[in-house]
Amino acid sequence: MWTRRWVCERGMTRREFQKLVREAAKALPDEFRSKLKNIIIGVEAGSPDGDLMGLYEGVPLGERGTGYSLCLPDKITVFQRAVEAECGGKKRAIKKELIHLIRHEIAHHFGITDERLEDEGIY
């Protein structure tokens, strides 16, 4: 059972993991960070399928029309257990993966699909 202050099996607390997520977001190039509009980044213990490391939910910037107002923020969720499992619980690998993951999900905020990222050899 996970509590509010859960610790994953690898020993990293949620607070420590959230700090790494914030650092990864701050590592985005200024040209991208300055264009982020109405978006939040959060951390959850695990995804519904257990394997998903990150999820973007919202309306990409290019799809926001004149009716886009008074909307809840777009959301990027990072799933701690999946990231830690992928990285073997190694902090350095987790930091590197989070930078990659945040950039990937931010690409969706800008309207870039997984297919396009793959076609261009980015991910």
What is the secondary structure of 51-117 as a DSSP string? ---EEEES--GGG--TT--SPPPEEEEEEHHHHHHHTTT-HHHHHHHHHHHHHHHHHHHTT--HHHH
In order of start, what are the domains of the chain with their CATH numbers? 14-62+70-119 (3.30.2010.20)
Q: Please give the Cα distance from 73 to 40 (Å, whole number).
A: 6
Q: What is the pTM of this model?
A: 0.83
Helix axes 91-109, 14-26, angle to 10 degrees: 60
- CA dist., res. 86 & res. 70, Å (int): 37
- Tell me the per-residue pLDDT of 59-113, one tens digit each, with 9 for 90 and over: 887 777 788 788 789 999 999 999 999 999 899 999 999 999 999 999 998 888 8
